[in-house]
Structure 1
Amino acid sequence: MPEHIIVSPANGKPFTTTQLASASAASDAVSRAAAAFPTWRATPLADRIALVTKFVDAFVSKKDEIATELSWLMGRPCSQTPGEIRGFEERARYMISMAEESLKDVAAKPAKDGFTRFVRREPLGVVFVIAAWNYPYLIAVNGVVPALLAGNTVILKQAPQTFPCADRFADAFKAAGLPQGVFQHLHVDHAVAETVIRDPRIAHVLFTGSVRGGHDVCRIAADRFAGVGLELGGKDAAYVRADADIAYAAENLVDGAMFNSGQSCCGIERVYAHASVHDALVERMVAVAKGYKLGDPLAPATSLGPLVRTDAADLVRAHIADAKSHGAVLHIDEESFFPMSKPGTPYLAPQILTNVTHAMRVMTEESFGPVVGVMKVADDAEAVRLINDSDFGLTASLWTKDVDSAMLIADQINTGTVFMNRCDYLDPALPWTGVKDSGRGVTLSALGFDHLTRPKSFHFRVKT
């Protein structure tokens, strides 16, 4: 069997080797999932809830070793990786708590004498979850847990960089006593993943990744009308109004832009600041960013780790260079982060740019790195226009003390989520969704179950 070597961005050395499954082995996994589905869907919801709860308990019991492994795989500082395990638990337990209410039969209204009429949410079948590397547990849990609770069987494919994260799911499900075939994971390349998507026994695909990857999944699945959910990233914007708490906004915006080295689909990538507060905001943001410590992600003092690969860091470098060539001002001297930040490595200093425009790649393309542009605007209308001037539409954040104005602005913004005075966070009680190139479909919240089930109408005449 072919092997995949995972190189840690922390030190540029091989961390582990994974055996890749063949197309035949992948087909066998789908066969097992399809065979397990009838029994699993017939399993009482209370029993499914109990087993998934045991899975969460088993997973969290290994949180320390899981977090350390994640730092090696991702390069995320060890001070931050435990947060992903906490987020995993928060989302999983919330979806568990919502399962009974979200999956119960819905009576047709008004009641009609002589008839029993209701809608039942039935599971789809085998769900193929394709997760991204940047938050391998947070992304996967959004689909895996509600899909199983709803009565589907699941096959999980993690990204090659984070293949071992699927093993941690499998270990916890085994410890929980989940029946054979109900959850499986595959370490496969793109070609074999395509054969799985094409398999007529796959009922639904949940994909998180690039826009190009999303188009590929849709094209492959379209041959047989399989359901597809897509989360494809963003170019998330923030608008700082004249009445904002500048110190608070600066602290949170820099964290939203730099956390996980900027490798977050909902991370802040562009900021629009009212002209009256622009300079003060930039000054404060630069001071915060200069306080980051770039270094070994396994060192407790590190607050900014490497990007996942050198080519990912090179893309960010290219965006910064393009902006500079078109007149942008760079506010952080990269030399102050030497020797860690240097070309040819995945280590990259944080950067804040001003005098930016939408003619620059850094304000329109997804950078996915520790860089953010700050642009001066005259009023709310200009901010809304610029926020909406994007191919993406995942989240936007508003920084203001005026709730009423924020509500009016939010109604004009074309994104799946609008925050006020916070950013870069998924509340499991709210649907996670995007528009435009940020994708389609919904995960989390009660609505997340709707996309993993199909409505079935029952229309019984009980009196003749």
Structure 2
Amino acid sequence: MGANGIESDIRDRHLNAHERATANLEFAGWIDGETYAGTDQFAPRDPVTDDPIVDVAMCTSTDVDTAVDAAWDAFDDEWSTAGPADRAAAIREWAGVLADHLEELTLLESLDTGKPIGDARGEVEGMIRTLEYYASLARTQRGAHVPTGEDVHLYTRHEPFGVVGGIVPWNFPAWVAAWKLGPALAAGNTAVLKPAKATPLTTIRIAQLSKAIFPDGVINVVPGSGAGVGGAIADHDGIRKVSFTGSSAVGRQVMERAAETVTPVTLELGSKSPFIVFPDADLDRAANAVADGIFYSTGEICDAFSRAIVHEDVYDEFLDRFLEIARSHVIGDPLDPETTLGPLTTASQYETVSEYIDTGQREGATLAFGGGRPDDPDLEDGWYVEPTVFTDVTPEMRIAREEIFGPVQTVLSFSEYDEAIEMANDTEYGLAAGIGTERTSLAHNAAADLEAGVVYVNEYGPILPDAPYGGVKQSGVGRDLGEEALDHYRQTKTVYTNIDEPSL
């Protein structure tokens, strides 16, 4: 209900969209090529209206066992003997089917996460491009001949682990599912994937759309809780590799549980990413880059530019431009193409972000813009936060050190190059960083000095499947994407063959 107790147009639109997006579909586990109902159900909630979208089967650790068994059967019976060309063809065919269902998947993604419909479409397209990229890489994998003496033929070969596990975050469910499945399948593995409980719908649907393309059991999706399903994947003795994207706190738990079975892990975790604005920067470009990096996806992005570190000579001018962009955002219904900022995805995240905004004010930072809910009764049931900008921020403040995961920008100042680099690196995280400058030498030197796995110059993104993505320090270990990601889904075997002198 809206403020006057009358059904709003937005609620009507969303309830109709729920029915349209889920009609004739069953959202449950996907195991061994079939829908798999758990023992209980849960319902992800629409972040715009706080209504349940559809019932989803709640799987358990026992269901993870079933999925792992199915994945091993598929690996042993068919997938391990599928050649690179066969794997490439299957992944490419699947990407084509997903492209045919682009609008369906876009609607599910928007309803589940609260992303503006255009952003959701772009991320589904990113998922498809990622799978197409790994379809191409499947045929390019090579071992190596190692030159040695004439009496030894020495070579290496790359082999899949067998069954791998993936745990997908709630902020980019479709796209990151492809980050896990693309390289895993291209390298020859089968997979057991857990979508986030808050946003499971697209991950389940893309698995359903793989029917008859892959052998049954190659792709398995097990929705459920982090403790019940995620924990079971992390320490399962039948899963030979685990890839997790999410918070640093949960990532540490995954690493600890995987250590029990000495299972290798890839972890892409939190951040407090800086963007340094040097005095020669094109301030329009810099302000847009920082804004894209903190307001896209309502700031629920792992590499959000949540710290703008601005040279004192251009601080006021940069701030004027940045505030103008913040004011220009259209907060509204994500299904409206004009909307540029949707709600936060969950009620708990709304509470977290609201608490940090209160904390910033208590710490003495100046709330230069935003900080509240939009003044629109049609949006009162959603988890909306205005674009928020804090100035007079000092590096020791919690809002400058801790990951907020919302549309909250902190703006700090510096005077010297070394001060900017020290301030940027003074964090436990190291996922991404940004640089605003028109000087090539400054850009390359800063890129080398910043402690981050990804550095953007004068822009935010784009994130392309061609390049590795991941962080340093407590932002994780290993890399998603790029050719390098294949190395995380395969093992290298060295073969020594002794060769005798030829004789007849």
> TM-score, normalised to structure 1's length?
0.95
Verify the 8 A CA contact 1:394 1:438 in the aligned structure 2: yes
Verify the 8 A CA contact 2:87 2:135 in the aligned structure 1: no
Q: Partner letter of residue 5 of structure 1? A: A
The 3-state SS of whatever aligns with 2:209 is helix
Alignment equivalent of 1:327, drawn from 323, 342, 364: 364
User: Aligned pair 1:314/2:361, yes or no?
Assistant: no
Alignment equivalent of 2:299, drawn from 259, 262, 276: 262
The 3-state SS of whatever aligns with 1:230 is strand
Alignment equivalent of 1:225, drawn from 245, 250, 262: 262
Q: Which residue of 2 aligns with 1:302?
A: 339
Residues 3/426 of structure 1: CA separation in 2 closer, same or farther (3 Å cut): same
Cα displacement string for residues 125-159 of structure 1 (whole angstroms, at most 9, x for unaligned residues): 11111000100111111111111111111011100
Q: CA deviation at 1:267?
A: 1.6
Q: Which residue of 2 aligns with 1:383?
A: 420
Q: CA deviation at 1:429?
A: 1.9
Distance 2:426 2:131 in 1: 35
Distance 1:423 1:335 in 2: 26
Q: CA deviation at 1:407?
A: 1.1
Distance 1:384 1:159 in 2: 35
The 3-state SS of whatever aligns with 1:16 is coil
Distance 1:209 1:166 in 2: 16
Q: CA deviation at 1:453?
A: 0.5
Q: Which residue of 1 aligns with 2:15?
A: none
Q: Which residue of 2 aligns with 1:186?
A: 222
Matches within 5 A, 1:175-214: 175=212, 177-189=213-225, 190-214=227-251
Residues 75/411 of structure 1: CA separation in 2 closer, same or farther (3 Å cut): same
Residues 64/357 of structure 1: CA separation in 2 closer, same or farther (3 Å cut): same
Distance 1:85 1:111 in 2: 48
Q: Which residue of 2 aligns with 1:10?
A: 48
Verify the 8 A CA contact 2:167 2:244 in the aligned structure 1: yes
User: Aligned pair 1:417/2:454, yes or no?
Assistant: yes
User: Aligned pair 1:73/2:112, yes or no?
Assistant: yes
Alignment equivalent of 2:319, drawn from 262, 271, 282: 282
Distance 1:105 1:336 in 2: 56
Q: Which residue of 2 aligns with 1:40?
A: 79
Cα displacement string for residues 190-227 of structure 1 (whole angstroms, at most 9, x for unaligned residues): 22332333221110111111112111111111111011
Q: Which residue of 2 aligns with 1:27?
A: 65
User: Aligned pair 1:440/2:477, yes or no?
Assistant: yes
Verify the 8 A CA contact 1:322 1:360 in the aligned structure 2: no
Verify the 8 A CA contact 1:33 1:182 in the aligned structure 2: yes
Distance 1:231 1:302 in 2: 29
Verify the 8 A CA contact 1:125 1:152 in the aligned structure 2: yes
Q: CA deviation at 1:419?
A: 1.6
Cα displacement string for residues 146-189 of structure 1 (whole angstroms, at most 9, x for unaligned residues): 111111110111001122122222122115x2101111111122
Q: Partner letter of residue 79 of structure 1? A: G
Distance 2:351 2:41 in 1: 26
The 3-state SS of whatever aligns with 1:161 is coil
Q: CA deviation at 1:333?
A: 4.5
Q: Which residue of 2 aligns with 1:58?
A: 97
* Deviates most, 81-90 or 363-372: 81-90
Distance 1:343 1:83 in 2: 27
Q: CA deviation at 1:116?
A: 2.1
Q: CA deviation at 1:346?
A: 1.1
Alignment equivalent of 2:386, drawn from 349, 353, 373: 349
Q: Partner letter of residue 127 of structure 1? A: V
Calculate percent identity across the aligned residue pairs.
30
Alignment equivalent of 1:94, drawn from 130, 133, 136: 133
Verify the 8 A CA contact 1:341 1:349 in the aligned structure 2: no
User: Aligned pair 1:370/2:392, yes or no?
Assistant: no
Structure 1 gaps, min length 5: none
Residues 409/114 of structure 1: CA separation in 2 closer, same or farther (3 Å cut): same
Q: Partner letter of residue 132 of structure 1? A: P
Q: Partner letter of residue 263 of structure 1? A: E
The 3-state SS of whatever aligns with 1:159 is coil
User: Aligned pair 1:105/2:125, yes or no?
Assistant: no
The 3-state SS of whatever aligns with 2:47 is coil
* Number of residue pairs matched by the alignment: 461
Distance 1:55 1:247 in 2: 41
Q: Partner letter of residue 306 of structure 1? A: P
Distance 2:442 2:106 in 1: 41
Q: Please give the root-mean-square deviation of Cα atoms over the aligned residues, in Å.
A: 1.8
Verify the 8 A CA contact 1:319 1:362 in the aligned structure 2: yes
Q: Partner letter of residue 338 of structure 1? A: D
* Deviates most, 276-285 or 110-119: 110-119
Residues 248/196 of structure 1: CA separation in 2 closer, same or farther (3 Å cut): closer
Distance 1:406 1:359 in 2: 26
Residues 336/264 of structure 1: CA separation in 2 closer, same or farther (3 Å cut): closer
Distance 2:436 2:224 in 1: 43
Distance 1:359 1:373 in 2: 12
Verify the 8 A CA contact 2:156 2:493 in the aligned structure 1: yes
> TM-score, normalised to structure 2's length?
0.88
Q: Partner letter of residue 250 of structure 1? A: A
The 3-state SS of whatever aligns with 2:204 is helix
Residues 341/433 of structure 1: CA separation in 2 closer, same or farther (3 Å cut): farther
Distance 2:373 2:347 in 1: 20
Q: Which residue of 2 aligns with 1:83?
A: 122
Alignment equivalent of 1:215, drawn from 252, 256, 261: 252
Alignment equivalent of 1:153, drawn from 190, 193, 199: 190
User: Aligned pair 1:126/2:134, yes or no?
Assistant: no
Distance 1:80 1:143 in 2: 21
